[in-house]
Amino acid sequence: MAANSTSEDQISQEKMKEPEEIKRKERELKSTIDNFKKEEAAPQSELFQKSNELTKMQQALKERDKMIMQHKHKIKELEQVVTASTSEAEGLKDEIQKLTLQLNQAHEEFKSSFDVIQEKEKCIEKLKRENYHNSSTDPIDFYDGVIKIPGLSKLNQGWEVLIKDVDRYKENCNIQGVIVSVVGNYNKGKTFLLELLSEIKSPHGFSVSTEGISIKYLGDEKYPRKSPIIALDTQGGSLPINLSEFEAAEDPEEALKELLRDHHATEDILQNFIMETATVIIIVVSDLTFDDQTFITKIKKKFQANARKNLLVVHNLLHCSYRIEVEKKIAELIKTSFNLSEKHYAFETDNNPIYFVEKKDNLVVTHLVLAKHGSEAGEYYNESTIQYLRNIICSADQSHLDVVKSFCEYLQKHFSDYIKIKDEDTAKPLEIIMKINDCNISQIVLQNCSKLGFKGICADELGLIKTLAEGPQPAYTTYIDESGLLCIKIECPGASKDRPKYKVEESTTDFRILIKGEKIFDDGQKLMVFSDERKSGKYTIMTSFINKNKYNLESKTPILFEMKDGYIIFKWKVTKIDNIADDWNEA
């Protein structure tokens, strides 16, 4: 029974499991059906998507076909244009060939003339360097004023005076300022130095030699002081003389002598005026020559001892472009020609810090260097040199700035030392005046004089005038006697009973003696004279400069004067005698 019961229970459980199994099978079947449906739906969606893509591609093809048709239409239009212009191009072809031929011919002509053009360019550049092409020959184009001095012999005809700005000149005449003088031999670079000092360029192609005295105002920006500064540029020494002026004269030899006297006298009076007027004197030299050394020595002799005056030498090495060239010039030329010591500028500079000083007794001369403008050497040397000069100018003593008036007054005082007045003019008072024209100074004129001549002029080895007199030129000897006295013995039979006059002139380092007297004859009345080569009249003797380092006068008054046996003898007591025999020259 128990076994049967168990079987029934199993059968009953089996019967209960059958519906569940059916349900499970139904679910599996349903799931399989759903999967089939999904698999069937997927290809249909992809197909639909591809159908849409195909439709879009068809539309794009239609658009492309449309664009192709448009391009074909444009190509046809361009072909029509090309076809239409082909005939015109054929017509221009011949003209192009003609132009090409002309261009080739022009090219050949240019090639053939190229050498000529180059040669002309070289000539132009050379003329530019020499400042001769399209030159401005009017000095007033650069200077603010000019006193044209053709020579002392033409003073009675009038010296032309040009003033650029009359109002400015008159304004400066009423105040004091610094006067700077630039001197030197001809064509050494004086105007170039003025350009650097004033920072005002001369006109393009400016080429004119300074004739007399030229006036230049220096710029205010680089000179921080209220008083004005005037630079005087003088005509260069060693200028050639115009020989055509005497070749047509009745007596060419005498005319040449008169021309040389005029040259010496004019140069001398200009230099003396500059020495007296300027407080800063700048000597400009280039590559140092014997003429430059002579000129510097000459100016030193004339330079009066004055603590307020400054004497400077600017070595304008305009051909030196590199520092090594300048250093060689300084070592081999400048230092060997002067006893120089090196100094350093008081101001700070990134360029050349050194300048040179020459000292002899109380005379101090400063030496500075310039090099070719714009070159490596110029960049190194020029700025510090110009800065030093500006500092000296700013600290210099002041004086009256009416240069024309001062020059007239100087001429009035000294022209008779050089000029011999003709007999017909001696009764009239001679006067140097300034002629005024349209509120402007136009001329400096010596009035009441029809014709000028020159006194006997003789220059020493430096070019310093020694004698300024007509009539006899007695022979004389300057020597030291056995007592150690300085003696001047003049050979002068027939001397006037009036005592000769004497004067001692001195500078810082030297002195010289001037003696004036008269030689006459008291032979009684002459009934007939067959020949007479003796000369009578007033004379002037001017000794060469005597170096104070070797001996000096204890007093300007001679301790002895005597006239005997046809001689006039002066004697002075001297000190510091040091083997001076070789310095004396017998007349």
Query: Is 372 a member of any domain?
Result: yes
Q: Is residue 441 part of a domain?
A: yes
Give me the mean pLDDT over the 268-276 stretch. 86
Of 81, 110, 129, which marks where a domain is finished? 129
Residues 398 and 479 in one domain: no
Alpha-carbon separation of residue 494 from 236, 336, 473, 531, 533 (angstroms):
43, 50, 13, 18, 14
Evaluate if residue 101 carries a pLDDT over 90: no
Would 12 be classed as within a structural domain? no
| CATH number of the CATH domain containing 293 | 3.40.50.300
Q: Output 106 or 378, whichever has higher pLDDT.
A: 378
Q: What is the pLDDT of residues 10-50, one digit of tens each?
A: 666 666 666 777 777 778 787 877 777 676 666 666 777 77
Q: How many CB atoms lie within 10 A of CB 78?
A: 10
CA nearest 465: which of 270, 325, 330? 270
Spatial separation of the C-alpha atoms in residues 214 and 233, rounded to whole Å: 5
Same domain for 233 and 324, yes or no, is: yes
Q: Tell me: do 116 and 151 sit in the same domain.
A: no
Residues 200 and 342 in one domain: yes
pLDDT value at residue 587: 45
Lowest mean pLDDT segment, chosen from 16-25, 146-155, 493-502? 16-25
Residues 484 and 398 in one domain: no
What are the CA-CA distances from residue 199 to residues 10, 142, 223 (Å)?
135, 12, 11
Query: What is the Cα–Cα distance from 224 to 569, expressed in whole angstroms?
Result: 57
- Is 417 strand, coil or helix? helix
Number of domains in the chain: 3
How far apart are alpha carbons 528 and 500 in whole angstroms?
Answer: 31
Query: Residue 126: its pLDDT value, please?
Result: 53
Residue 322 pLDDT: 93
Q: Which residue has the higher pLDDT, 495 or 566?
A: 566
Q: How many CA atoms lie within 13 A of 152 on its CB side?
A: 28
Q: What's CA 488's distance to the chain center, in Å? A: 47
Residues paired with residue 217 on neighbouring β-strands, in sequence order: 230
Average pLDDT, the chain: 77
pLDDT in tens, 446-465: 776 767 777 766 666 556 66
The letter for the amino acid at 123 is C
Window from 281-285, 375-379, 406-410, 490-494 with minimum mean pLDDT: 490-494
Q: Using 50, 70 and 90 to split pLDDT, how confident is the model at 134?
A: very low
Instruction: Report which of residues 443 and 322 the model is more confident about.
Output: 322
CA distance 285 to 287: 7
Question: Which whole number is the average pLDDT over 515-520?
Answer: 81
Least confident among 115-129, 172-186, 392-406:
115-129
pLDDT higher than threshold 70 for residue 225:
no
Q: What is the mean pLDDT of residues 279-299?
A: 88
Token pair recorded at residue 227: 């008083």
In which domain, by residue range, is 380 found?
Answer: 139-446
Same domain, 405 and 311: yes
Residue 453 lies in a domain: no
Give the pLDDT band (50/70/90) at residue 526: low
**Residue 422: inside a domain:** yes
Same domain, 220 and 316: yes
Cα distances (Å, whole numbers) of residue 174 to 161, 301, 399, 402, 439: 19, 32, 11, 8, 17
Q: Say yes or no: 401 and 495 in one domain.
A: no
Asked whether residue 43 is domain-assigned, the answer is yes
- Whether 142 shows a pLDDT value over 80: the answer reads no
Q: What are phi and psi of 49, to 5 degrees?
A: -65, -45
Write out the two tokens for 431. Answer: 């006067």
Same domain (yes/no): 107, 186:
no
Domain end call among 392, 412, 446: 446
Distance, in Å, from the CA atom of 166 to the CA atom of 56, rounded to the nearest integer, reads 97
Nearest to 236 by CA among 188, 275, 196: 188
In a domain, 477, yes or no: yes
pLDDT > 70 in the chain, percent: 73
Q: Does 144 lie in the same domain as 39? A: no
Yes or no: say if 246 and 256 are a contact pair by the CB < 8 Å rule: yes
Q: Count of alpha carbons within 13 Å of 422, Cβ hemisphere only?
A: 10
Average pLDDT over residues 565-570: 86
pTM for this entry:
0.62
Which residues, at least 6 apart from 578, have a Cβ–Cβ distance to it below 8 Å? 549, 550, 551
Same domain, 372 and 402: yes
431, part of any domain: yes
For residues 256 and 146, membership in a common domain is answered with yes
CATH number of 522's domain: 2.60.40.790
Amino acid at 441: I
Rounded to an integer, what distance in angstroms lies between the CA atom of residue 185 and that of residue 459?
A: 17
Is residue 439 scored above 50 in pLDDT?
yes
